[in-house]
Chains A and B, each alone.
Chain A
């Protein structure tokens, strides 16, 4: 070996070096394989791969996969996007004019209908006018009860006179005096009654996909004042629910009074209201007396105002007035929300207790309940003359005003519209419509959320119960939509009505969305599965892959040579 040559070109000598032993052992090449062995080996490798890919992989995927029931995703999305239902509200009106002939009334209803439809194009209410005689019951084909009955009273009728209009609390009727005979005037009156309803429905729909109708994008009310009031009403009210638990509690800082005539007070003030609201929700009532109720340490507490001689509660303290940590105001058992009504009777030393700025004694806690303070009169006569019962029991007379406050708060808390002020029946009907709409909207968005969730998390299991619930929900949604368009708002024997269907749909959709077994395996991702099986897959996979690659290369070379040869 010449060292200089190494210095000059190591690379060359290295190449030469390779040649040396190879040329030395020239005969040591393996014998060429027969085509048969080659085929056998390739068959073996191929069958291994076939088993792995055809049997092992599907089996592995199948055993580690999660069950996903099929959901009608496109229908769910249609609802979420507002395409499945064009929300319109039928508003059948019956006109009754005592003493008129049928022809006259048909004519009036025709012109009324034209007037109301003229400006009703962008409104959500579909007015239909039906004619009813004074005595005979109207024929209302395919529609529910009329949403409004307009009664035109004859001149000189004792009920009404002149250009006045009147509403009866218990019935959904508009009584018009003899001065109002023109169709335009009547239409104005009807509009006056229905416009708050239109606004409220438009408010509910605005901002949702349902606002896009065939008439263009629905705008919320232009009136900022009414929007603010609708906002306030909406934030105060509880979520729509089939059942509300009303809990009336008397809180007393000391020992007395320890009893109240709540049963009488409830019977006098609450029961009629709750009976009227029975078409909207069910109500359960519980009462309790809690002694030794102290204020929460987080509030400053009432301060004595020398000028007025009253104890004043600062406005900032109102939110912390209810001592949630200590006062036993646990929600009632069972489905539905609990509405709390708290009556606080301050200790004689702290009486009278009022809210500082307004001087009021009651306030409403949005979506929670109402609070009222009852300041008992300072006993003018010495206590001795009164019996023990007077001292320890609040009489029904004491509670009169409080129950009125509570009734007022209850209407606000369930979201009862404040207008038309005259007729409770009309207000409740309006509430039914709004409720059904709100439930329908929330159900649609829940279904949309579920559909997005299913799409986003491919690992989440979907049990059959979810599919069933979604199906139920969609069915009820369709019914609710039809009922709204047909004016079947309330529950009848044969039909759940729009509200009932919307409630059923909402319950089913919530059940589907909050299905507990869907949460369980979100935290068992593919990475885990792979990590656990790496000890198996690694050592098995490497020889398989190498053998496969080698055979593939060999086959490829063989093919190329064949091609070259030819």
Chain B
């Protein structure tokens, strides 16, 4: 297992032994329990610092190199992630979680701090804006409210002149960003073989983003070795966990349909098993799969472009008992195989072959799959109800028999206002439930309070999690009310809160001999959805109209009181216009009535009289017209 990690990070550790090839790539495959497959792609290219500074690019991508130079970036880490790593069933995270990001987009970089704070902010903004263009992501929305400056959580991976002085770390997250194919395409364009040859030919947007968990990373850092010129190294990784059955569904019929009854595999031991009742039988053993079935295509050719690159391209971490068949077209050059480790098989793609495919058959393996326990389990939730306040509740569970020191980092948006005096860290031992919870005192705490619309909250805690216990971290917060224009179009969905980042610090080698890891590892909680009070968005117009109406009403009555002349009702002079209108109306009415009378009685005198009366009354004008009619009716 240790060797497997060595191979997963060939650039970091193997490079110390061998001269670094300018470009190398590697694919690590590991079946996970319950029919999942982990595939970790790793592409490492490097260039000498002098070539980089004079802008001569070979395998290092020019587009990215220019961005880094323009923004004076010393070290860059960029992550695109989707889904959740199920550490309960899949075990510890690949690459110790170091090449993994929180849901959405995450970026942190060390920038040249020359020129003071405004210059750094200018560079940061130029960096995120250029990367936004390069990767078709909304990275340009990482502004000052989404940027934090963590103290303990990250350390530079590269070797920097002056030991990291004159550099400043900035960290930004975009939990709302949906990672998709448009981010993968520019990612592949940065590779020398551009997804056309070598293992990168397996990367297809349909498969990568169909995965249960997926993370893409880009890490640029300077690497120096004694006696050699410093090099700038770019490491690109894609880690995915695929549901084997789902990704092997036929390409021409991707819609899931019920299987015909004949094809169902039923558990016949169930008492209710009958011809029309079927309880699906549990799959036994390991599933059969092949690269071409899972990724839709076999590996095309190879991408051995650099001199001195002799490392294996593909490694397969499976039980020694499983049979593996390697098919390739073209030449039959044997692939490198069977490293020292029993569980690991490594292959090198042949240079002349056109296609290479690895296929495994279904087998029942007695041996339980080896799984490494993750260093820590972490989860985080929002508690409380209502639109005014809530609480944060993070649970950190240490399953190991030794205590662990961690750094817990939260970068919260400004509209979530935590109350630090309510911060409680309580520890419960998992072995015995009756013991009371004991408070845990953080060893160190860094807290930058939020400023409305200017800065988010940055909270960093250095904690020790006791052995075999669960630590609960809680605090309360207020939900701010945003301005009308600050709401996104889908305001009722809620607002994403970036995942908490947990760095598990390496243990001192002398304190617990060989128990813990010698390198630190990272894990991230899922991102949270924070419902904020959302207004009715027609509100401003309603308010304008309502207040206008109220003002107009008040104004109208006061104005009338001031200006009108008050006289007795009988004294009201009739306006000439009203008199004329009433006259016309009365005439029309009388004419209609006479017409009606004529139709009814054919010259009935009474009818005429009514018409005449009506006319006369109508002539009186105004309201009296109606009363005139009433009077004439009485007469009748």
Docked CA distance A328–B195 (Å): 14
A286 near B616 (CB under 8 angstroms)? Answer: no
Candidates B70, B196, B605; contact of A333 at CB < 8 Å: B70
| B17 CB-CB contact with A under 8 Å | no
- Bin chain A's interface residue count: 35 or more
A30 near B552 (CB under 8 angstroms)? Answer: no
B560 near A543 (CB under 8 angstroms)? Answer: yes
| B56 CB-CB contact with A under 8 Å | yes
Docked CA distance A330–B63 (Å): 7
| B621 CB-CB contact with A under 8 Å | yes
B559 near A543 (CB under 8 angstroms)? Answer: yes
A14 near B193 (CB under 8 angstroms)? Answer: no
Instruction: Kindly list chain A residues whose C-beta atoms are within 8 Å of the C-beta of B490.
Output: none
Docked CA distance A326–B186 (Å): 10
A292 near B555 (CB under 8 angstroms)? Answer: no
Instruction: Kindly list chain B residues whose C-beta atoms are within 8 Å of the C-beta of A259.
Output: 58
| A332 CB-CB contact with B under 8 Å | yes
| A291 CB-CB contact with B under 8 Å | yes
Q: Which one of B78-86, B267-275, B540-548 contacts A?
A: B540-548
A17 near B55 (CB under 8 angstroms)? Answer: no
Instruction: Kindly list chain A residues whose C-beta atoms are within 8 Å of the C-beta of B568.
Output: 28, 30
B130, B193, B194: most-surrounded residue (chain A CB, <10 A): B194
Candidates B54, B605, B619; contact of A13 at CB < 8 Å: B619
B570 near A10 (CB under 8 angstroms)? Answer: no
Instruction: Kindly list chain B residues whose C-beta atoms are within 8 Å of the C-beta of A284.
Output: 55
Instruction: Kindly list chain B residues whose C-beta atoms are within 8 Å of the C-beta of A286.
Output: 55-57, 62, 66
Instruction: Kindly list chain A residues whose C-beta atoms are within 8 Å of the C-beta of B552.
Output: 535-536, 538-540
Shortest distance between the CB of A249 and any CB in chain B (Å): 8
Given contacts A41-B565, A291-B194, A334-B70, contact A17 B617 (CB under 8 A): yes
Chain B 183-217 against A: per-residue CB contact (8 Å), 1 yes, 0 no?
A: 00000010011101100000000000000000000
| A103 CB-CB contact with B under 8 Å | no
A288 near B58 (CB under 8 angstroms)? Answer: yes
A25, A33, A535: most-surrounded residue (chain B CB, <10 A): A535
A14 near B615 (CB under 8 angstroms)? Answer: yes
| B618 CB-CB contact with A under 8 Å | yes
Docked CA distance A3–B571 (Å): 32
A539 near B549 (CB under 8 angstroms)? Answer: yes
Docked CA distance A13–B612 (Å): 10
Chain A 1-14 against B: per-residue CB contact (8 Å), 1 yes, 0 no?
A: 11100100011011
Q: Which one of B136-144, B328-336, B582-590 contacts A?
A: B582-590
| A202 CB-CB contact with B under 8 Å | no
B548 near A15 (CB under 8 angstroms)? Answer: no
Given contacts A291-B305, A334-B70, contact A547 B189 (CB under 8 A): no
Docked CA distance A29–B570 (Å): 8
Instruction: Kindly list chain B residues whose C-beta atoms are within 8 Å of the C-beta of A18.
Output: 579, 583, 619-621
Shortest distance between the CB of A461 and any CB in chain B (Å): 18
B548 near A255 (CB under 8 angstroms)? Answer: no
Shortest distance between the CB of A68 and any CB in chain B (Å): 24
Given contacts A14-B587, A288-B62, A291-B194, contact A44 B563 (CB under 8 A): yes
A533 near B548 (CB under 8 angstroms)? Answer: yes
Instruction: Kindly list chain A residues whose C-beta atoms are within 8 Å of the C-beta of B55.
Output: 284-287
Instruction: Kindly list chain B residues whose C-beta atoms are within 8 Å of the C-beta of A33.
Output: 565
B608 near A3 (CB under 8 angstroms)? Answer: yes
Chain B 29-70 against A: per-residue CB contact (8 Å), 1 yes, 0 no?
A: 000000000000000000000000011111101110011001
| B562 CB-CB contact with A under 8 Å | yes
Docked CA distance A392–B23 (Å): 14
* Beta-carbon nearest neighbor of A291 in chain B: B192
Docked CA distance A18–B571 (Å): 16
A17 near B620 (CB under 8 angstroms)? Answer: yes
* Beta-carbon nearest neighbor of A534 in chain B: B548
| A467 CB-CB contact with B under 8 Å | no
| A482 CB-CB contact with B under 8 Å | no
Query: What 8 pairs across the A-B complex have the smallest Cβ distances?
Result: A17-B619, A539-B552, A536-B548, A535-B548, A14-B619, A286-B55, A288-B62, A28-B570
Q: A388-B307, A536-B544, A536-B547 are in contact. List 20 more A-B contacts (CB 8 A).
A: A1-B609, A6-B611, A13-B619, A14-B618, A15-B619, A16-B619, A17-B619, A18-B620, A20-B616, A41-B565, A263-B54, A285-B55, A292-B193, A326-B189, A330-B134, A333-B67, A538-B552, A539-B552, A540-B556, A547-B559
Can you name 8 A-B residue pairings with CB atoms under 8 Å?
A6-B616, A15-B619, A18-B621, A28-B570, A30-B571, A37-B565, A286-B55, A290-B192
